[in-house]
Amino acid sequence: MDVQIVLDTPRSSYTNLDIISGRVLLRVANSSNVSSVVVKLEGESKTRLMATRVTGQGTEKQRPVLEVHKVVFPSHQLQEETWDQGSYTLLPGQHEWPFKFKLPFNNTCSATNSLNTNVSFAGLRLEVAKQPERHVKNTLPPTLTGFPGEAEIRYYVKVTVHRPKFYQENPRAYVNFNLFPIEPPRPALTGNETYARRQRQFLPFEGLPPQKKGLFSRSNSTTPTLPSGDPPRFSVDARLPNPAILTCSNDLPLRVIVKQLSERAESVYLQMLQVELIGYTHIRAHDIARTESNSWIITSTSNMGVLIGSSSDVAGTETTLSKEYWYGRPLPNTVAPSFETCNIRRDYELEVRVGISYGSPQGKPQQIVLPLRLPVQIFSGIAPPPALLAAMANAHSGIHSVPPPPFPPRPASFPSKQSTEAQSPVQRLSLDTQAHQQQGTSQTPQPYEDAPPSYEDAIAQDMPPVDGPRSDYAPPPAEPDVELSRSEKTGWV
């Protein structure tokens, strides 16, 4: 028995409100009994950090601390079985069932993880995560990789074929996909700028050593003169529109300005320019925290020798560097948007390093390098639908031209076999291969098991997927998850 998931329209990344649809293909060589076929859409934010523990003998020992959050999607897509809790005999051949999920806006972490979620293996060592205590309800975070064994956020569609006998393996398959979330509403442009500034004064040139006259030296040769007066002083600004927002896969709206603060007698040159994006990933596993940093070089040029202004410029003269040095060099598609979730947060800074030189008669100019850093936010570039923005604006102002859809009922409890399945959208596929049946919701609303879905998710139920330009997002591929490949008989349900 072999099971496989085939997506209808595979993409490099999906975003909120997108429809993920596909088919489950089950190939059966011999007649087999099956009790259910379950498809889930799940997300997971997992961290693992090492903590130091002092033993009774006073020695230090490293122990792993795990924190796992299941990104729970709105349960209005949950469908219960429409057949008896027995078994169904599948004939030899290929069987196929369709499925479809819609990605919401916000995440809702499960208040309590199942034992199977908290248990993992590191080699031959069994590791158990404590129940998470801190939850953040926010926009779904993007797929995050690049920290193997330490932190990751992943999304996947998983199918499990349940077989009635305990000694029979439950075939399963999963397909990872990248999530690139819709950006929050952008503030209106005001024309203001945020900036980082540094000032520096060149050193005075030292006096020339006395020159010895050679046998053939001319008596009327002149000695070079040193610049008179105090050495010049400059300031360098790196400016971005306020608030400082960069867009994934787009050029930087950056301005670099060199300002002359005093008179000068010699030329000043731009010798070096480097623009670098620095990302800080704040990882937390319960009471243990760690910050990892990585960087992306946008542009780096040295030995430029570009003249800045003129030696006759007066104090207060500003020279704006040409944007051609960083235009046409957008942010790499491996950069994730800024986000915060329960145990992982990503922040950014933009560092601009400007090197300028001041000439001297000896041909040995002084060179200084001024590093400038600006905290920035990274947006995905996928704008929220105008209908959603209008609905939210009306909600905040107390005007409801169209009443929001009612919250879907959530069951107060589930059978023990389905307790962990209730944490994510589940579609149970009818074993009748000719039809895909769905069980309707109960007529009597039942109390919510947890907080109801957000207003954004309630409104977005009937909204179509985002229609507009999308930036490409291609994080490093995630390593295969051994836990997802385990047999259901070893603990998965």
* 10-residue stretch averages of pLDDT, the chain, 493 residues long: 91 90 91 86 90 70 84 44 63 89 78 55 60 79 92 91 83 92 89 94 66 55 53 93 94 95 89 96 93 95 91 91 94 94 94 89 78 96 82 62 49 38 52 41 40 54 76 81 52 37
Give Cβ neighbours of residue 32 (< 8 Å, ≥ 6 apart): 1, 89, 90, 163
Q: What is the number of other CB atoms lying within 10 angstroms of the CB of residue 477? A: 9
pTM for the full model? 0.78
**Contact call for residues 34 and 3 (beta carbons, < 8 A):** no
Report the largest interatomic distance among the alpha carbons of the chain, rounded to a whole angstrom: 114
Name beta bridge partners: 347. 280
Burial class from Cβ neighbours inside 10 Å (0-12, 13-18, 19+) for residue 74 reads: buried
* C-alpha–C-alpha distance, residues 333 and 350, integer Å: 16
Query: Comparing C-alpha atoms, which of 459, 336, 454 is closest to residue 386?
Result: 459
End-to-end CA distance of the chain: 18
Contact 159, 24 (CB under 8 A): yes
* Burial classification of residue 86, based on how many CB atoms lie within 10 Å of its CB (0-12 exposed, 13-18 middle, 19 or more buried): exposed
Q: Can the peptide bond before residue 141 be classed as cis, meaning omega within 30 degrees of 0?
A: no
Residue pair 387/463 in contact (Cβ under 8 Å)? The answer is yes
Residue 174 neighbours by CB under 8 Å, 6+ apart: 5, 156, 157, 158, 159, 481, 484
Give me the pLDDT at residue 380, please. Answer: 94
Give the model's pLDDT for residue 441: 40
Tokens 């299941």, located at residue: 70
| Torsion angle of the four alpha carbons 128, 134, 138, 142, in this order, in degrees rounded to the nearest 10 | -30
Task: Give phi and psi for 292, each to the nearest 5.
Answer: -105, 145
pLDDT of residue 333: 93
pLDDT at 247 (0 to 100): 95
51 DSSP β-pair partners: 63
Instruction: Give me Rg for the CA atoms of the chain.
Output: 31
Tokens of 340: 């915060």
Q: Provide the pLDDT for residue 77.
A: 35
